[in-house]
Structure 1
Amino acid sequence: MNMANKNSAWRSPWVIGWVAMVAIFFTMNLIMILLAVNNDSGLVVEDFYERGQDYEKNMLKRQARDPGWQMEVQLPKKIEIDQSVLCRFVVKDKAGEAVTPDAVILYVYRPSDASQDFSIPMKVVEPGVYETQVAFPLIGAWDMLVSAKLGEDEFNTPKRVGVGIDWQP
């Protein structure tokens, strides 16, 4: 009996190491699965099927109506948490002349948490230039979308920013 214990596989550090690695692997996967199931990011729209129908036809219509505007979102290089910064939106036509849309709205999205999303209407400073103050409550990546509406048409320009870090794509 003493000889059986001496030759047991459980006495080998290699077997113990492999069993520990497999146990860690399954434990971490279980934790990731539980986090994914319990934390809904809210990034999927409710009516995804309806919005996806005739997508190609709608995109072709939108491209045909595209006026060729030059749109630019301007922000400071460094943005701190809860610090109000000036967001400027400049829109020009193909010839470089100022464009005056009916409405300009800044939409701010938190990719990891839809409950932090918000929107702010932008005010006209001069023809073709719109501004608003914006403050980001959390550190990390934020997606911005400036929407310029002219009649029934809507033209968007995106921008991704890093808040509280030295990162600007």
Structure 2
Amino acid sequence: MTEKKSAWRSPWVIGWVAMVVVFFTMNMIMIYLATQNNPGLVVDDFYDRGQDYEKNMLKRQARDPKWVMKIKLPSKIEIGQPVVCQYTVKDREGTPIDRDEVTFHAYRPSDAGQDFSVPMQRIGPGLYEATVSFPLKGAWDLLVSIRNGEDEYQVPKRIGVGIDWVP
């Protein structure tokens, strides 16, 4: 008679069980990291800001002046080194636009604690400038906002600091 062998002696069974254990272990680690860290860019008053979102967006689109806005930065940005960020804004015909309040915002997608904002100074007609320094290596989301009465218009840009970045 043949002796019945245990399934645990088969390398296939051991391999499949090991893969399942690794899978569940990694999922538990990812769940733990997701609940212990908050890397999202979430505003505190998200509910209030989301009220009547569609209606407010339609109003904003109807009042959109169709400005041409551009952010200009050096191609290589190093950690901790001051860089000059320029922002230009023109109307549809190419005439420079001047406003009192232009702000440069830098958001760190992986760490909201590193976010910062700097007011931009008017250098010439439709030309604004700010000197900024990025404290950490990696991806940064930039947003330059300009106010026109009660309306605010923004232009976004993603950059890489301390790395070779192709926008």
TM-score range, shorter chain: over 0.9
**Aligned mates of 2:34, 2:151 — CA distance in 1:** 37
Residue number among 46, 67, 74 corresponding to 2:65 in the alignment: 67
**Aligned-partner Cα distance in 1 for 2:119–2:3:** 76
Which sections of structure 2, spanning at least 5 residues, go unmatched?
none
Query: In the alignment, residue 62 of structure 1 is paired with which amino acid?
Result: R
Contact 2:105 2:117 in 1 (8 A): yes
Distance 1:132 1:113 in 2: 22
Shift in Å, 1:122: 0.5
In 1, are the aligned partners of 2:140 and 2:160 still within 8 Å (CA)? yes
- Give the aligned partner of residue 28 of structure 1: 26
Structure 1 CA distance for aligned equivalents of residues 144 and 157 of structure 2: 8
- Aligned-residue offset at 1:7: 1.4
The percentage of aligned residue pairs carrying the same residue is 66
- What is the CA deviation profile of residues 44-103 of structure 1, one whole-angstrom value per residue up to 9, with x for unaligned ones? 222222211111111111112111111000011111111111100011111101110121
In the other structure, the counterpart of 2:123 is 125
Structure 1: any 5+ residue segments left out of the alignment? none
Pairs aligned (count): 167
2:32 is paired with a residue whose SS is helix
How many Å apart are 1:42 and its aligned residue? 4.6
2:70, 2:87 within 8 Å by CA — same for their partners in 1?
yes
Residues 1:5 and 1:38: Cα distance change in structure 2 (over 3 Å): farther
For residue 45 of structure 2, what is the amino acid of its counterpart?
Answer: D
The CA distance in 1 between the partners of 2:122 and 2:132, in whole Å, is 16
Q: What pairs with 1:78-89 in structure 2 (closer than 5 Å)?
A: 78-89=76-87
- SS at the partner of 2:34? helix
Distance across 2 between alignment mates of 1:91 and 1:58: 24
**2:135 partner SS:** coil
Find the aligned partners of 2:117 and 2:72 in 1 and give their Cα distance: 17
The Cα of 1:154 is off from its aligned counterpart by 1.2
Distance 1:49 1:55 in 2: 10
Contact kept? 2:87, 2:127, Cα under 8 Å: yes
Q: Which residue of 2 aligns with 1:153?
A: 151
Structure 2 distance, partners of 1:43, 1:145, is 13
